[in-house]
Copies of this chain bind each other. A is one copy, B any other.
């Protein structure tokens, strides 16, 4: 199968390459084109998933596809943006039709759910599977939810249970083919696109939790020039997670585990989400009641350590 046939068969499928009012043209020319609504700006984010680092090639390619698009779309949720379309750079050693079929169906599952069709990309052969996705969305001009607006006196909220992403990892490593139970939070961390729309008018700052709550809160503190007092006992965790790994380990996962793709945001007040702390003027760092921050802060996920 040549490159053009592969694109046609797996990536121009109408389940994946469907019309969107803001997409002028997609696959088939030298560029794709997006026209944001009037008074809107385009926002976009790029994420790479490497076989053996961010996923296991032994997982179902459907699950790899859902995860790849979910984690990238989460950055649009982080800005309270509405999805428009995504591009895919897929590097694979061989064009296995079963793998490609499952992968494109996984992408399509999430693309349909969040009205975000594929609009372009590049497929290349290489010794190792590498998946890069760029998502594009729009937000009213000047209304993107930034990391930089938190103010002393604001409260700190999260959108849902934390720790499941990290808690799922041991299950995934043990049985990469099982995407049920906790592992579903790993393979389908559904981006909180709708939730973000609901809090947009209240929130002063926000982001998605990908590297671990504490490390990501540090990003908000640095960008907003504030500090935070976090009450660990108010952090929501699933009964599944606590049952599986115990309260202490669940708390560690919730604080530092990463891969949750929930939203964390600040607001003077907000009817949505769960309050986990407060924004303070000093010290300009994240403090967790009853815990030594140094022990925890160094454990967020980082490449190239």
Is there an interface contact between A132 and B48, defined as CB atoms closer than 8 Å? Answer: yes
Which chain B residue has the least Cβ–Cβ distance from A78?
B30
Q: Does A15 contact B (CB under 8 A)?
A: no
- Asked, given contacts A41-B35, A42-B35, whether A303 binds B130 with beta carbons under 8 Å apart, the answer is no
Is there an interface contact between A304 and B33, defined as CB atoms closer than 8 Å? Answer: no
Report which of B50, B124, B137 forms a contact with A53, defined as CB distance below 8 A. Answer: B124
- Give A129 to B32 CA distance when docked, in angstroms: 26
Is there an interface contact between B134 and A87, defined as CB atoms closer than 8 Å? Answer: yes
Q: Does A45 contact B (CB under 8 A)?
A: yes
- Asked, given contacts A48-B89, A48-B91, A132-B89, whether A124 binds B54 with beta carbons under 8 Å apart, the answer is yes
Number of copies: 2
Is there an interface contact between B3 and A44, defined as CB atoms closer than 8 Å? Answer: no
Q: Does A161 contact B (CB under 8 A)?
A: no
Q: Does A56 contact B (CB under 8 A)?
A: no
Q: Mark A3-46, 1 if CB is under 8 A from B, else 0.
A: 11010000000000000000011001111111110000111111
Which chain B residue has the least Cβ–Cβ distance from A124?
B48
A45 contact set on B, CB distance < 8 A: 30-32, 120
- Give A121 to B76 CA distance when docked, in angstroms: 14
A168 contact set on B, CB distance < 8 A: none
Is there an interface contact between B91 and A50, defined as CB atoms closer than 8 Å? Answer: yes
- Give A81 to B44 CA distance when docked, in angstroms: 19
Interface residues of A in 72-86 (CB under 8 A from B): 75-76, 78-79, 81
- Give A139 to B25 CA distance when docked, in angstroms: 13
Q: Does A296 contact B (CB under 8 A)?
A: no
Stretch at the interface among A141-149, A175-183, A246-254: A141-149
B-contacting residues of A (Cβ < 8 Å)? 1-4, 6, 24-25, 28-36, 41-54, 75-76, 78-79, 81, 87-89, 91, 94-95, 120-128, 130, 132, 134, 137, 139, 141, 144, 146-148, 207-208, 223, 302-305
CB-defined A-B contacts under 8 Å, sample of 20:
A2-B302, A4-B302, A30-B45, A30-B75, A31-B45, A31-B75, A32-B44, A35-B141, A36-B36, A44-B87, A46-B120, A46-B134, A48-B122, A53-B126, A54-B124, A87-B134, A123-B304, A127-B127, A127-B128, A128-B128
